[in-house]
Chain A
Amino acid sequence: MSLPLEYYLVLSALLFTIGVIGVLIRRNAIIIFMCIELMLNAANLAFVAISRHLGQAEGQLFVIFVMAVAAAEVAIGLAIIVSVFKHRETINVDEINSLKG
């Protein structure tokens, strides 16, 4: 009755890849950030699918941990973006390159 695990894993892999591509091709820091969230979500999907496959609740548990960490990360990340914007008037990652060697 239930769908095979592969379906979900493939979907997860595709979403993850879209996230990776987004991180690589976008210049807007906020969108890059969203893409990271997308990747985390793809991982979450895999977690839940495998959790169902194995019949263990741990997978869902880790999803909750991931969400907590993601929330923390977003808060910090957006704060950094806001303060970067205050100083440099831009959030274009191409222009934020003072760490150039």
Chain B
Amino acid sequence: MNPELIVFIIFGTVSIIGAIAVISFRHPIYSALSLIVTFFSQAGLFVLLGAHFVAAVQVIVYAGAIMVLFLFVIMLLNLGTLSAKGALTGKLKGVAIILGILLAVEGVYIAVRALKNDTAVASDAAKEAAAALANKPIETYDIGRLLFSDYLLPFEVTSLILLAALIGVIVLVKRDKQPEN
């Protein structure tokens, strides 16, 4: 059996179990921990795909920063489980799950079919070229190069978005000035 497949199955299963756990646990802190597990297995998948840099960033950003923030807020608000009274969501549950399954089926079908079309249309030469490309490893160096040349403007815009978020958060949670004496 292909060792890559084994690794994929392990990580894929873990990530799906983690994801289901996220939406199943009653307590948000468990959900958060499950989400971290999912993120980790995703990082593993990224490594499997040869995207080492993205994997590292995934762990640093998601597990290291975003989820800590989540935990921080959960702990700060000290939320327990929510009462189920008068919930619209209770009624929706069945509908939602059916819709979700439909969506999943469609998504899977599209993913598979799009690729089939792709390979069906392409000529032999194009296929060879694609195959050659596909085996070319993508280094951190390539990402950095692209980021600071072709995608410099989006990169800068991203920094602006982060700045805006920073300011926005400060404004949102700033407490009103105490009355001056």
Contact = CB atoms under 8 A, between A and B. Distances in A.
B49 A68 contact: no
Among A10, A45, A70, A75, find the residue whose CB has the most chain B CB atoms closer than 10 A. A75
A78 B143 contact: no
B162 A71 contact: yes
Contacts of A65: 154-155, 158
Contacts of B79: 28, 30, 91
Interface residues of A, number: 72
Contacts of A38: 19, 22, 35, 38
Contact of B96 (A10, A21, A28, A53): A21
Which of A60, A69, A81 is the most central at the interface, judged by chain B CB atoms within 10 Å of its CB?
Answer: A60
B62 A37 contact: yes
Interface string B113-125: 0010000000000
Contact of B100 (A21, A69, A74, A91): A21
Given A34-B35, A55-B133, A14 B104 contact: yes
Interface of B: 2, 4-5, 8, 12, 15-16, 19-20, 22-23, 28, 31-32, 35, 38-39, 42, 45-46, 48-51, 53-54, 57-58, 61-62, 65-66, 69-70, 73-74, 76-77, 79, 82, 84, 86-89, 92-93, 96-97, 99-101, 103-104, 107-108, 110-112, 115, 130, 132-136, 138, 142-143, 145-147, 151, 154-155, 158, 161-162, 164-166, 168-169, 172-173
